[in-house]
């Protein structure tokens, strides 16, 4: 364990220097990566007792808000993307959402779309925002400071109201995948496969910490989740399903009412997704064709599936079809060695162009896979 903690600490301190959290480099922030990084620093504080890591987590939260909560340096607009005045924006840094942190400016309203170029353009992603809500909630848990949960709830309200829309009052709402920086219009109108799940489970967590809050948003997101197919063979998507399954199991075990049958659907979908993924024999591919952060996302999810098992004693009385859950977890356990293989591979293969092109996110996801308890909330 000491070796694992030391390896994760070395990775995270290098990440801090690379991205301007420490040292003299101009800060460059990326919301997904930074959400995992906050959780990693908090876990390093737990493992080592060193307050340096806690201070880095809090400094990172502040830096994300001051960079990604404001307009880009190359934008004609300035100030908080929420439109709040400076002092009010400091007090409510998530009220207008948070930018992704992509390299290129967002696409203009009259600019033709380019599906490939869009991946490099700024804006707001719902599933990045939910990751940041999760990170803020972890900070609130670890520090006892209620402001972080308040910011998470303010972010949830802003994101929900702008990312969801309704074509017919008789039908559940739908969601946009990508919004403009100021949340005034969609940049990509399709819905992210697991975005409703991320929203529903994150809202439930925030609601549990502040009963009475986010009721409308939670109910609407629950309706969006009904009857959807969650199966994917994308490793990062499978990992996300498993991490969300752990969060849902923990909520249910705490007596929180959740959508009936959802746990069974998620775990069964994840088990089927892993089967399809493994059938492709992806780890036999040359390193230049592999994406570390996506594979590491699966590894983190497989570790999450092991944590779910500790809630099994409660399953017969809390879940309607406990046998479905147990069978899915057994199928997933058979692939748990894949997580170790993935992590070991990327610990030894960090010199290629593929690793370098996604260096920051690869580093942070690798550190998370070494100490998954922080991100998973265990």
- Per-residue pLDDT band for 335 (boundaries 50, 70, 90) equals very high
What pLDDT score does 279 carry? 96
How confident is the model at residue 340, as a pLDDT?
Answer: 95
Residue-wise pLDDT for 108-139, tens only, equals 988 888 888 999 999 999 999 999 999 999 99
Q: Quick one: pLDDT at residue 314?
A: 55
All residues at 6 or more sequence positions from 132 whose CB lies less than 8 Å from its CB, including other chains:
31, 34, 35, 64, 94, 98, 152, 155
Distances (CA, A) of 350 to 63, 111, 290: 27, 38, 12
321 pLDDT more than 60: no
Residue 59 has pLDDT above 60, yes or no: yes
pLDDT band at 192 (very low <50, low <70, confident <90, very high): very high
Tokens describing residue 303:
């570790």
pLDDT at 146: 96
Provide mean pLDDT across the span 13-25: 96
The per-residue pLDDT for 219 is 97
Q: Mean pLDDT, to the nearest integer, of 290-313? A: 92
pLDDT at residue 2, as a whole number = 64
pLDDT tens by residue, 142-178: 999 999 999 999 999 999 999 999 999 888 999 999 9
Higher pLDDT, 219 or 285: 219
In the structure, what pLDDT confidence band is assigned to residue 322 with cuts at 50, 70 and 90? low
Q: What is the 3-state secondary structure (H, E, C) of the chain?
A: CHHHHHHHHHHHHHHHHHCCCCCCCCCCCCHHHHHHHHHHHHHHHHHHCCHHHHHHHHHHHHHHHHHHCECCCCCCCCCECCCCCHHHHHHCCCECECCCCCCECCCCCCCCCCCCHHHHECCEEHHHHHHHHHHHHHHHHHHCCHHHHHHHHHHHHHHHHHHEECCCCCCCCEECCEECCCCCCEEECCCCCCHHHHHHHHHHHHHHHCCCCCHHHHHHHHHHHCCCCCCCCCHHHHHHHHHHHHHHHHHHHCCCCCCCCHHHHHHHHHHHHHHHHHHCCHHHCCHHHCCHHHHHHHHHHHHHHHHHHHHHHHHHHHCCCHHHHHHHHHHHHCCHHHHHHHHHHHHHCCCCHHHHHCHHHHHHHHHHHHCCHHHHCC
Percent of the chain with pLDDT strictly greater than 90: 86
- 255 pLDDT more than 80: yes
pLDDT value at residue 211: 93
- Tell me the average pLDDT across 5-12: 97
Residues 200-218: tens digit of each pLDDT: 999 999 999 999 999 999 9
pTM: 0.96
Q: In the predicted model, is pLDDT for residue 373 greater than 90?
A: yes
Q: Is the pLDDT of residue 320 over 60?
A: no
Chain centroid to CA 204:
15
Average pLDDT of the chain is 94
Strand partners, 369: none
**Averaged over 87-100, what is the pLDDT?**
98
Residue 345 CA to residue 141 CA, distance in Å, equals 33
**pLDDT higher than threshold 90 for residue 55:** yes
Q: What is residue 343's predicted lDDT score, i.e. its pLDDT?
A: 97
Task: Identify the band that residue 299 occupies on the pLDDT scale cut at 50, 70 and 90.
Answer: very high
Asked whether residue 316 carries a pLDDT value surpassing 70, the answer given is: no
């Amino acid at each position: 364990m000491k070796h694992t903690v030391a390896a994760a600490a070395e990775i995270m301190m290098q990440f801090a220097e690379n991205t301007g959290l420490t040292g003299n480099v101009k800060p460059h922030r990326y919301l997904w990566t930074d959400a995992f990084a906050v959780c990693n620093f908090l876990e390093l504080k737990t493992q080592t007792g060193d307050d340096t890591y806690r201070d880095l987590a809090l400094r990172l939260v502040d830096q994300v808000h001051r960079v990604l909560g404001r307009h880009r340096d190359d934008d004609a607009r300035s100030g908080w993307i929420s439109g709040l005045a400076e002092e009010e924006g400091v007090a409510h840094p998530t009220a207008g959402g948070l930018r992704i942190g992509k390299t290129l400016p967002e696409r203009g309203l009259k600019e033709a779309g380019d599906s490939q170029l869009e991946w490099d353009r700024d804006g707001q992603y719902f599933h990045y925002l939910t990751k940041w809500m999760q990170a803020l909630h972890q900070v609130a848990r670890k520090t006892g400071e209620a402001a972080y949960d308040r910011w998470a709830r303010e972010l949830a309200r802003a994101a929900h109201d702008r990312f969801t829309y309704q074509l017919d009052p008789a039908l559940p709402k739908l969601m946009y995948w990508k919004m403009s920086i100021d949340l005034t219009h969609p940049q990509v109108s399709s819905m992210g496969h697991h975005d409703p799940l991320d929203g529903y489970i994150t809202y439930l967590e925030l609601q549990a910490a502040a009963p009475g809050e986010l009721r409308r948003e939670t109910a609407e997101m629950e309706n969006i989740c009904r009857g959807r197919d969650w199966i994917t063979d994308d490793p990062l998507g499978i990992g996300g399903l498993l991490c969300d399954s752990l969060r849902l199991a923990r909520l249910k075990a705490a007596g929180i009412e959740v959508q009936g049958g959802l746990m069974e659907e998620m775990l069964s979908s994840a088990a089927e997704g892993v089967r399809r993924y493994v059938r492709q024999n992806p780890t036999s591919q040359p390193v230049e064709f592999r994406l570390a952060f996506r594979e590491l996302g699966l590894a983190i999810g497989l570790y999450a599936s092991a944590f779910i098992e500790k809630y099994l004693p409660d399953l017969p009385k809390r879940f309607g079809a406990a046998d479905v859950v147990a069978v899915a977890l057994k199928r997933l356990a058979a692939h748990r060695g894949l997580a170790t293989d993935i992590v070991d591979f990327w610990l030894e293969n960090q010199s290629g162009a593929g690793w370098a092109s996604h260096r920051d996110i690869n580093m942070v996801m690798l550190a998370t896979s070494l100490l998954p308890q922080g991100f998973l909330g265990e």
